[in-house]
Amino acid sequence: MDQREKALRRDEWKCQKCGADLGLENAEVHHLRPVRDTSSSEELNRLENLTSLCSSCHEEQTEHNEWQRQEP
């Protein structure tokens, strides 16, 4: 099982923003920390760095890039 599917299972196949049901065809996995903020692909694809979104929320998120910026 790849990281994408693990993240989707952990999030119970629900969009973490709007709560929509996700399926393989509309599920998107978003990186909370973008590529430029991570030092390795391992860190980038860590389960804690992944969140499940539907395609419309992901599109919105990519455009505005302001949602859930969690500081440690």
Tokens of 66: 């302001």
Return the residues of window 22-41 that contact Zn ion according to CB under 5 A: none
Q: Does residue 8 bind Zn ion (CB under 5 A)?
A: no
CB of 61 to Zn ion, least distance (A): 9
Residue linked to tokens 């973008």 = 34
52: which strand partners?
29
27: which strand partners?
54
Q: Does residue 20 bind Zn ion (CB under 5 A)?
A: yes
Q: Does residue 54 bind Zn ion (CB under 5 A)?
A: yes
Residue 24 or 71: the one with the smaller Cβ distance to Zn ion is 24
Task: Please name which of 56, 39, 40 lies closest in space to residue 30, comparing C-alpha atoms.
Answer: 56
Binding region for Zn ion (CB under 5 A): 15, 17-18, 20, 54, 57
